[in-house]
Structures are given as structure tokens and as C-alpha cells.
Structure 1
């Protein structure tokens, strides 16, 4: 790939990843300075694997395209515009998935109240409505082993995920993959809505009406067809609408950002 094309691709990925952080924040799906959204960059000149991650200590609402940190598969810093470093332990799950799933450009992990609630019940996500039907037969599960600091857990995460694109980390939260940043964000938003709807429906104390297997599978296939079309054509009207929303509400996401308070001039 010519250098110009690499530059363009890198800039595009940076912009989209910064947009992802801002959109997740706007939807109230962030968790202080924790959880991550990572994206794979084209390999470096020497073939080194490169990924983008948020600077440690910034809230999602503060992340910009130019503040993103470039790291390798071990979480070691290759480029750090703000000098804040990254939460290397938080990249444990992401590194495992990125290195095993070269078909995924983006990995998105959340701890939302609704997502954690659904992850905390044995039944997991139920096909109760059109939103959740999208994920019918497409969700992997991984049992909780404690805070993801143990590198040996990566093998089990990859094994449990298999070829799927959505994983419920039991008693922990949600993990979503995307062939693009746009796909990962849209899957995460729909998964969150599905979890919120499930919590609300079961909280009514009435009898849940789970969709028949055939109907849920049909709806999942319909959703998949639409996603495949977006990825094949490179045209995604919903993602473009999301970016226009950011242009109105957080126009600096695609640019640079100053250091957060009390960190001015920090290099560590």
C-alpha cells in the first residue's frame, strides 16, 4: 500500500475511533476513565502490529483523534501525543482479540448498568424484541475470572469468542467486535438498547414473550444482510448521521485536545 494510502487510512481510523469514544460518552455508556475501544492500524514499516487506544486518565468525552495513543500487541507505547500513557492492563482483553481475529478492526468493551445486569443472570440476553433478535445465535459467553489482569485468561477469551462478533463477559460487561469502527459502535448501541429493554421488560413482573426460534433467526439474518451491505459498499448512512451529530455537539473530536487539568506539561 502506498504511503499516502496508509496515511489516509490511519487518519480515517483515528477520526472514527475518536468519534466512537465521543458517541459512547454521549449515550452514557462510558465508565469514568475505564473500559476501552481499540482499533487496528495498518502494520508499521517493519511489519509491527499497531493499535490505537485512549490516553490513560481521559474520560471518553475528552478523547480526540490526535490524542489517541499508538501501542503494539503487548500494550507498549509506540506514540503518545499527550504523554499520558495507557492502561496496559485494560488492553489485556483487546490484545487477545485483535491478535486472534484479524477480520476485526475494532474492539469495544463497556460496563453499563443494563449490560452488567444482563451479564449477571444465567439466561444472558433473551430474544425478546426486534433489537435483541439481531443477536440471536450470535453471542458468545465468557465466565468471570476477576479483573482482567491475568494474561493467561486471554487464551480462554479467544476460545470462548470463536468466530462470533459479540461476547457477554459474565458478571462483567459486554464486548463487541466490528469490521469497521462504525460497525462496532452500532452493534454496541443496539446491544445496549437490547439490554435496557430486557431489564425493563422483566422488571414489569409480567410474563416475558420470547420470540420463536425461527422468527428470531430470520430477524438476525436480516440485520446481518444490512451490515454486510454497509461494509461491502463502504457507505453507512447511519454512521454518517452519527458523525453529523458529533459535528454539532462535539466538533473538536476530530482534532487535538489540551492536556487535562493539572497535567499541563506532563511527559509521564
Structure 2
């Protein structure tokens, strides 16, 4: 269990393997954008540090051993090879939300398209209802490379589990990497469904508030129960094609 030749604790290694798996699964699902965008994971027992990929790596090249550990505080050490916008966004989120251990940010077409719509995410599907009352919106300020933007991102994310970054993309945050991955899948499905319905031009049926509130509670129970089988299934899918992520 080594990172660039240096030994690491078992808990950190397990986190590295899990995060590398998420990167590979993001690529498999078609949510990657070459070397851009990021998934970050707080280091177990080191809450002021997080793991993230090097800027130059494709998602398909990320492994447990080549992930980089960086501090959430201070400025970025450029020698790490970490992308500055990724450091600004993910470091800020993890610094402001001690309940969050993983942040996942993507620039998919459906996510960007809906982020650029004046209307918010509508409660048109079960996928959307998962996020009822749990979505923030952050206006576009250009590439997120300024440390001062962290404060505004933190304010707009607040205690939500998802953030629409206007004209830019979407972000999910969770207590674990598997949860952030499953949430981004559901959020992107919700975006796609809404865009399809808008394109169809037909009248839509929105889910009522009481049912949305009930659905949020049901998802919380589901995620703690039978939903726990989803992540091992995704890992089996990944390992059938490539196990190098765990190196």
C-alpha cells in the first residue's frame, strides 16, 4: 500500500481504491470530459486533507496510487499537479461542510443545459424528488480559479446535497464516495427527463410537495437498506472490464 513509493495507512488506501473506482465509473457512464472535472474524497482520520486526481490524467488512468493528497486550507501547491479550479471548488466544499466527505462535479450536456435554464429542477420524476428541498444554485463567475469564489460557492451550496453551477455544470456532495456517485446518476437522469419533457412541449405533471417530502424520507431509508447493494454491483461491473484502478 504505497503512494508514489510512500507507505499509507490502510484506511487511506481503502479510500484511494474507492475514489479511483468512482473516477473509472464516471468515465464508463460517459460523464467524463477528458482530463477535466473532479471527484474528491476526504482522507480518513485526516479531515483537513482530501484526495483528488492529477490534472493531466484521464479518468481511465486514475489509480489508487496516483491520486494526490492535498490540504483543504491555504493555497494550492502547484507542484502537486492538481488543477487549480478543482482545488478551489472541492477544497472549499470540504472545508465548509464537515458532514461531507465526497464531492463530485461534472460538465455533462444535460447538467449544463438545465443549469442554464431560468426554471429550477422541477419535481417531474422520482429521480428529481430525491433532491426535493436539497438543491442550491450558484451563478456563473467564469472558471473557478479564484479563492474568493469559495465563499460564495459555500453560501449557495449551504446544507444541500446538490448544486447547480449556472451555465457550468452540477455538483453532488455526500458522506461517502458511493453515495455521491449514485446521487450524480440520479441528478443527471432528472435533468435529462426534464429536458425531454420541455422539448416535447406537452403539459407536465409535477409531484406534489407532500409526496416529495415522503419520497425524500423513503430514499433515506432505501439508501441505508436495500440501496446498499447498488455500489457492490457497480464495482462488479467495473472489475469485469478493468481492475487496474485498485493499483
Provide TM-score, normalisation by structure 2.
Answer: 0.91
Residue among 176, 188, 192 paired with 1:196: 192
Match of 1:169 in 2: 165
Distance apart, 1:77 and its partner CA:
6.8
| Residue 68 of structure 1, CA deviation | 0.7
CA distance in 2, matches of 1:136, 1:42: 30
Map residues 129-144 of structure 1 onto 2, 5 A cutoff.
129-144=125-140
Distance in 1 of aligned mates of 2:181 and 2:37: 14
Q: Does the 8 A contact of 1:76 with 1:88 survive in 2?
A: no
Q: Is contact 2:131–2:161 with CA below 8 Å preserved after alignment? A: no
- CA–CA separation in structure 1 for the residues paired with 2:239 and 2:76: 31
Give the secondary structure class of the aligned counterpart of 2:171.
strand
Query: Is the Cα contact below 8 Å between 2:37 and 2:105 reproduced in 1?
Result: yes
Task: Give the 4+ runs in structure 1 shifted more than 6 A.
Answer: none
Per the alignment, in what secondary structure is the counterpart of residue 9 of structure 2? Answer: helix
The equivalent of 1:39 in structure 2 is 41
Task: Find the partner of 1:237 among 222, 229, 232.
Answer: 229
Deviations 1:193-247 (A, max 9, x none): 11111111211121121111211221122112223x25xx9x9211011111111
RMSD of the alignment, in Å? 1.9
The residue aligned with 2:17 is 15
Structure 1 position 42, deviation (Å):
3.2
Secondary structure, in 3 states, of the residue corresponding to 2:172?
Answer: strand
TM-score, structure 1 normalization: 0.84
Q: Distance in 1 between matches of 2:54 and 2:190?
A: 30
CA contact (8 A) 2:84 2:145 kept: no
- Segments of 5+ residues of structure 2 without an aligned counterpart are 1-7
Q: Which residue of 1 aligns with 2:110?
A: 114
